[in-house]
Amino acid sequence: MTLEERLNAVKRDNEILLNMGPQHPSTHGVIRFIVRSDGEIMVEALPVVGYLHRGIEKLAEMTPYAGFIPYTDRVDYLAAMFCNHAFVMGVERLLGIEVPRRAEYLRVIASELNRIASHLISLGSMAMDIGAFTPFLHGIRERELINDITEMLCGARLTYNYMRIGGVSNDINDKILKKISDFLDRFLPGFIEEFNRLITYNEILVKRCVNIGTISSEEAINFGLVGPNLRASGVKWDLRKNMPYSVYPEFKFEVPVGEGFRGSVGDSYDRFVVRVKEMEESAKIIRQAISSIPDGEIMAKVPKRIKPPAGEVYSAVESARGELGYHIISDGLENPYRCKIRTGSFSAMKAIHIKSQGCFIADLVVLIASMDIVAPEIDR
Amino acid sequence: MLELSDRIIEYFGLSHQYSLIVIVVLFFVYGLFALTFGSLFAGITSWYERRIAGRMQSRIGPNRVGYQGFWQWLADGLKCWFKEDIIPRDTDSLLFRIAPYLVFTGVLCTFVVIPFSPSVVGSDMNVGIVYIIAITALVVAGILMAGWSSNSKWTLLGGIRSTAQMISYEIPVALSLIVVIIPAGTLSLQKIIISQGGAPYNWYIFHNPAAFVAFFVYFIAALAEGNRTPFDLPEAESELVAGYNTEYSGMRFLFFLFAEWMNLYVIGGIATALFLGGWRIPGVSYEVQSASIWLEFLGFIIYLIKALILVNVIIWLRWTLPRLRIDQLMIMCYKYLLPISILLIVISIIFTILYELFPLLGVVVRVLLFLTSLLILGYFSYRVYYNIKNFPDKVYLKWMI
């Protein structure tokens, strides 16, 4: 029995089945929802995942450890740095390699730049789904500058392949540091304030977002939400603080949580504002990092053939979309025995299913956008 | 139009048995003129809107075809002309075919009563405003027809949304126009313009406080009736794919866009005629203006400029604001705009009676309102200046190689 037939069986006479996606302007890639709605009001929106499944986890079993890093870029194309980072961190733990401090700083700088870029897209596309086109393109404009920086840093604009097992591929120089500080000067007071005045405090956006898809902290934990979605529900959980990795303990930054800025705690507007605040915090981290970057090597001594001893490791980083974890099992050979990737978007899909019940079709769009789901991250 | 035909007959020294022919020819010419004007306006506005959007969004916009990409609208039109006219299999073919023309006709028909200058107007009928409100219902029929006949769920939702929205918002539009009709004492657009003075403080927007508010009520409601952002729910691309015109392609699709952009001029034109003094030139009386062809032309230019300023505001709103939700839209109409506009009618009646009793009061209120609006405009300009000064366009993309 297909999904449609099953839904048709439970459908009442006054309801219609709407097929939203996989080709739909606001499903952010190829995500499909089957919407059972009574006119404008939905009964439920059933997510159908798997349209972007590429079998990355299976590919990991057939690829040497170092060769798998380019594949990790494709797990989440909007925040590829984190996918790199989590994987190489796991392999380093298996091998027992100590990464040079300069490389760790470079990883933090690159990751936080990537977090800003990812949040810009997320916020912009949420605004666009609500109907405001301009904030999206303003976000794209700023992201373009970040892309230029990462292009200078590692030669790629989207799928970076920057991190290596034991360090990073390219060193930073004064020119790039200058560009980064130029960008931050432009970004932190100026752009954020402009963006807030343009869209964050816009009354129509506030009215559209408050009390839509409210997720209490208890529900959020039960859904398995991570990252900004979890923090917007009032749970102060950030892997950078709670399970420190890399050199994050050396930086001072706040973890913004949802406080019910205009409506109730954990609604779509909270998720929006939490992301805006996270961009500010990321910019602060980068400022601290580029001012105190140590000299030294950027690669540790790594054996030519990477053959970790048998064992398993779980390494997770705080990605732009929350906890991104790799569970790598090694059997002592050149390829991983198993590599399970845990991503934030997948659990968010379930929350959308539950929270979409009884709201408007227009609210579903807001809900999807506020969860910041990215299609490849769901399916891998 | 009849006056014009009389003048032409007199000018050429024809006998009056030809007057019917002259009138028919005149109507044809005027129809062609209105069609050309409307189409040109729609086309050029489409280019202009895209340029404005590009400017607001820190990008360039169309700039390849001709100077500053001016001929882009013609290129787009030609492209759509040559496109295959796809009519999906499961559609109601007849309704699907005629729906775009209904929408187009509905908007174009309003040009019959919208004046261009003292004597260039399709028909100065004495029920002009009622005619406008009635004829725009054709647009609703067309859009609902398009949504229904496409036989797609998205278009159906779009069509029904649009019907609910347009029918609801016709009420505040009509009521806010009545606020002006009360002091004017006529429904004819030309007579309303004539009864206003040329100088700004003689316009009906400053006639009494109710009219001042009614202008904004009309503007908001007309935006909603014309399906423009922030009320563009029927074609909300992020929710309903493209709303009622999802299944259309080629020239039929273009007709919907034609109607949308022509409607901008209609919104601006009606607001100009009723609230902003129409084609009146300050210090020139109606008799003098209608006697000279150059003053008539000047009146046309003034009318166009006033309407274009309003069109500019509409475009600017479109690229700034997000979209409302359907329930918020309805709440705004029935809970706010409708009671407000009814209240405005009452206030307008009271003021009109008071002015007849104390003529001096009228002058005082007009001048006060005019000064108030100047203050508001001044504050607005100051805010714009402040924003430009404090948030300069720092797009220094050049620093990246």
Q: How confident is the model at residue B237 (pLDDT cuts 50, 70, 90)?
A: low
Sign of CA dihedral A217, A219, A225, A228: negative
- Which residue is closest to A178 within chain B, CA to CA? B399
Count Cβ neighbours within 10 Å for each residue of A60-99 and write b for 16 or more, e otherwise: beebebbebbebbbbbbbbbbbbbbbbbbbbbbbbbebeb
DSSP state of A308: P
Q: Which residue, among B238, B324, B326, B399, would best test binding to A if mutated, counting the most A CBs under 10 Å from its CB?
A: B238
The interface predicted TM-score of the complex, written ipTM, equals: 0.80
Reference B247, options B360, B368, B97; nearest CA is B97
Q: Which residue, among A11, A16, A20, A134, would best test binding to B if mutated, counting the most B CBs under 10 Å from its CB?
A: A134
What would the 3-class secondary structure string for A214-245 be?
CCCHHHHHHHCCCCHHHHHCCCCCCHHHHCCC
Task: Tell me the one-letter amino acid at B292.
Answer: S
Q: What angle do CA B168, B171, B173 make, to 5 degrees?
A: 110
Residue B144: CA count within 13 A, CB half-sphere: 12
Residue A198 has pLDDT above 70, yes or no: yes
Residue B148 has pLDDT above 80, yes or no: yes
The answer to whether the Cβ–Cβ distance between B324 and A144 falls below 8 Å is no
Q: How confident is the model at residue B400 (pLDDT cuts 50, 70, 90)?
A: very low
CA-to-CA distance for A22 and A47, rounded, in angstroms?
Answer: 10
Q: Write out pLDDT tens, residues B196-219.
A: 877 778 888 888 888 888 889 999
The answer to whether the Cβ–Cβ distance between B154 and A18 falls below 8 Å is yes
The answer to whether the Cβ–Cβ distance between B324 and A40 falls below 8 Å is no
> Which positions in chain B touch A131 (Cβ < 8 Å)?
229-230, 232, 236, 238, 321-323
Do residues A229 and A235 touch, judged by C-beta distance below 8 A?
Answer: no
The answer to whether the Cβ–Cβ distance between A25 and B238 falls below 8 Å is yes
Do residues B254 and B298 touch, judged by C-beta distance below 8 A?
Answer: no
Instruction: Tell me if chain A has a CB within 8 Å of the CB of B157.
Output: yes
pTM > 0.90: yes or no: no
Residue B111: is it exposed, middle or buried by C-beta count within 10 angstroms (0-12/13-18/19+)?
buried
**The pair of three-digit structure tokens given for residue B268, joined into one six-digit string:** 């601006």
Residue A309 has pLDDT above 90, yes or no: no
The answer to whether the Cβ–Cβ distance between A131 and B59 falls below 8 Å is no
Residue B190 has pLDDT above 70, yes or no: yes
- Which residue is closest to A39 within chain B, CA to CA? B157
The answer to whether the Cβ–Cβ distance between B397 and A144 falls below 8 Å is yes
Residues whose CB falls within 8 Å of the CB of residue B315, separated by 6 or more in sequence, listed in order: B45, B48, B49, B52, B53, B264
Q: Say how many CB pairs under 8 Å bridge A and B.
A: 96
**What pLDDT does residue B391 have?**
59
Average pLDDT taken over every residue of chain A: 85
Mean pLDDT of B139-167: 85
Residue B399 has pLDDT above 50, yes or no: no
Residue B263 has pLDDT above 80, yes or no: yes
> Which positions in chain A touch B399 (Cβ < 8 Å)?
179, 182
Residue A208: which of B57, B160, B325 has the nearest Cβ?
B325
**What pLDDT does residue B397 have?**
43
Q: Write out pLDDT tens, residues B309-356.
A: 999 888 888 888 888 888 888 888 899 989 999 999 999 889 888 888
Q: Which residue, among A8, A14, A120, A129, would best test binding to B if mutated, counting the most B CBs under 10 Å from its CB?
A: A129
**The pair of three-digit structure tokens given for residue A73, joined into one six-digit string:** 């870029």
Q: How confident is the model at residue B395 (pLDDT cuts 50, 70, 90)?
A: very low
Residue A141: which of B154, B239, B395 has the nearest Cβ?
B395
- Which residue is closest to A364 within chain B, CA to CA? B239
Residue A137: which of B58, B239, B394 has the nearest Cβ?
B58
Within chain A, residue ranges assigned H as helices are 3-10, 56-62, 69-73, 80-95, 101-130, 134-154, 174-185, 192-195, 203-209, 217-223, 228-232, 239-242, 268-291, 344-355, 361-371, 375-379
Do residues A341 and A75 touch, judged by C-beta distance below 8 A?
Answer: yes
Query: Looking at chain B from residue 303 to 322, which residues have their Cβ under 8 Å from any Cβ of chain A?
Result: 319-322
Q: What share of chain B in percent tops pLDDT 90? A: 2
Q: Which residue, among A361, A365, A370, would best test binding to B if mutated, counting the most B CBs under 10 Å from its CB?
A: A361
The answer to whether the Cβ–Cβ distance between B322 and A134 falls below 8 Å is no
If one counts every other C-beta atom within 10 angstroms of the C-beta of residue B401, the result is: 8
Residue A151: CA count within 13 A, CB half-sphere: 9
Instruction: Tell me if chain A has a CB within 8 Å of the CB of B393.
Output: no
Instruction: Tell me if chain A has a CB within 8 Å of the CB of B97.
Output: no
Distances (CA, A) of A157 to A76, A169, B39, B310, B387: 14, 15, 44, 42, 32
Query: How close A323 gets to chain B, by Cα (Å)?
Result: 29
Q: Write out pLDDT tens, residues A97-136.
A: 888 888 888 888 888 989 999 999 889 888 888 888 888 8
Residue B401 has pLDDT above 50, yes or no: no
Residue B393 has pLDDT above 60, yes or no: no
- Which residue is closest to A129 within chain B, CA to CA? B238
CA-to-CA distance for B278 and A242, rounded, in angstroms?
Answer: 67
Q: How confident is the model at residue B379 (pLDDT cuts 50, 70, 90)?
A: very high
Do residues A268 and A130 touch, judged by C-beta distance below 8 A?
Answer: no
Q: Write out pLDDT tens, residues B72-112.
A: 888 888 888 888 888 888 888 888 888 888 888 888 888 88
Residues whose CB falls within 8 Å of the CB of residue A1, separated by 6 or more in sequence, listed in order: none
CA-to-CA distance for B329 and A181, rounded, in angstroms?
Answer: 45
* Residue with tokens 């807030």, as numbered in its chain: A196
Residue A262 has pLDDT above 60, yes or no: yes
Residue B126 has pLDDT above 80, yes or no: yes
Q: Which residue, among A11, A15, A26, A128, would best test binding to B if mutated, counting the most B CBs under 10 Å from its CB?
A: A26
Do residues A30 and A23 touch, judged by C-beta distance below 8 A?
Answer: yes
Query: How close A365 gets to chain B, by Cα (Å)?
Result: 7
Q: How far is CA B346 from the centre of its chain?
A: 26
Query: How close A212 gets to chain B, by Cα (Å)?
Result: 12
Could you tell me whether strands A338-342 and A41-48 are parallel, antiparallel, or unpaired per DSSP bridges? unpaired
